[in-house]
Amino acid sequence: MVLNIKRKLLIGASLAASISAIASSPAFASGLTRTTDIQFFTNDTQHQSTDKPNIGTWTFDGTKPAEYDSSGIGGVNRQKLNDITKNNINKAISALTDNSSATNVELFTNGEIVVDHVGFTGKLGKNTIKVESVTKADWADGKLANSWLTGFRNTYGSLMSSIPTTPGSNMLKDFNNNYSAIIGHLNTNGFNTAGDPNIGDVTYDETTGKLQVDLVGHLDIAGKYVDTRQKVKQGNNMVNNSNYLKTSPDFARNSTGNQIFDAMLFNLAKTAFLTNTKFQMSEIAKITFNGETDYAFNFVATDSGAIAGDRNLTTDTTSHTGIYSWNKTVKDVPEPSALAGLMVLGGMVTIKLQKMKMTKA
């Protein structure tokens, strides 16, 4: 009995030492990784450096002093994203790999109806990732619609419940009563304006397993549904806006096409604006990490500290002012050296067990 205990202790110590050696090897190195080996594609056809990959890029022009603009939302003095290009792969890679989540790449720039999967593939350490635009086909099975609408309700349910509609009802009750119809509409038609995301940063924390995708958008989208301009420019003068608190000039391009839900979006945006509550909603990116697909979106944004240098100064105060961070804990792929180490360890244990049996015999 004593001999057997000693043998077990010996094997346990050897096993612990072997595991410790593997854990401290480079194969288990930890830390935050950024995307490398980036390749752009359209519908899985890889683009060459001379192609036009249907992307737009917003970065800071490093050839001249930083420019700032305080005329955007909240009067914050934000740095202008003043280097704007289209179909420039080198600029796009730079925007995705720098240390700023505000510099970004828009996937699919040919209008609001997204008909192609435009995106990029890359590596996060030993892991593979694919980030792309969202088309109508991605909504068809209902999973995206259900996930998106659930997130929407979780974020705005309280505000929706405060908005009366018909006698004895409110927007939240109406939303729940029409939930299946709204999902059915999104399954069939998608949500076009949400499918061309601006990607600011993609990172993976090898220690915690957290994958994060930063989407660049508007810090407040209320003005996309309701006209929040009290005055508008007429010639050289500012005059009262007769369309104030009515539908925004941008309403059509930001609507879903479902009359019930679009009416909710308008009234929700109006209530948010009048109660000094930011109305926030990101675009959506399709993410495939190590072969497993998910969709990145969020309804809460932080200030990017930046603003688009090409925005319309009369009507646009929010372009690229918000960062919507989506994250998920994902499974890492073991490196070949780690697998080899575990195989060696397993072999060592097998040999020791065989020796024990021989000795005992």
pLDDT in tens, 99-126: 999 999 999 999 989 999 999 999 999 9
Task: Give the predicted TM-score (pTM) of the model.
Answer: 0.85
The whole-number pLDDT of residue 361 equals 52
- Quote the Cα angle for 149-155-157, to 5°: 85
pLDDT bracket for residue 275 (50, 70, 90): very high
Take residue 293 and report the two structure tokens written for it.
């697909």
Mean pLDDT score of the chain, rounded to an integer? 88
Q: Residues 177, 256: contact at Cβ < 8 Å? A: no
Take residue 126 and report the two structure tokens written for it.
């030993």
Q: What is the pLDDT of residues 210-260, one digit of tens each?
A: 999 999 999 999 999 999 999 998 889 999 999 999 999 999 999 999 999
Among 338, 334, 344, 345, residue whose Cα is nearest residue 23: 338
Which one-letter amino acid corresponds to residue 11? I
The whole-number pLDDT of residue 152 equals 98
Q: At residue 156, does pLDDT exceed 80?
A: yes
Among 10-24, 37-51, 220-234, which is the least confidently predicted range?
10-24
The whole-number pLDDT of residue 48 equals 85
The whole-number pLDDT of residue 24 equals 34
Q: At residue 83, does pLDDT exceed 70?
A: yes
The whole-number pLDDT of residue 88 equals 96
As beta bridge partners, residue 198 has: 106
What percent of the chain lies above the pLDDT cut of 90? 79
Q: Residues 112, 105: contact at Cβ < 8 Å? A: no
Phi, psi dihedrals of residue 260, rounded to the nearest 5°:
-65, -50
Which one-letter amino acid corresponds to residue 152? F
pLDDT bracket for residue 1 (50, 70, 90): very low
The whole-number pLDDT of residue 341 equals 52
How many Å apart are CA 361 and CA 343, to the nearest integer? 27
Give, in order, the Cα–Cα distances in Å from 254 to each of 11, 223, 328, 332.
Answer: 65, 10, 27, 37
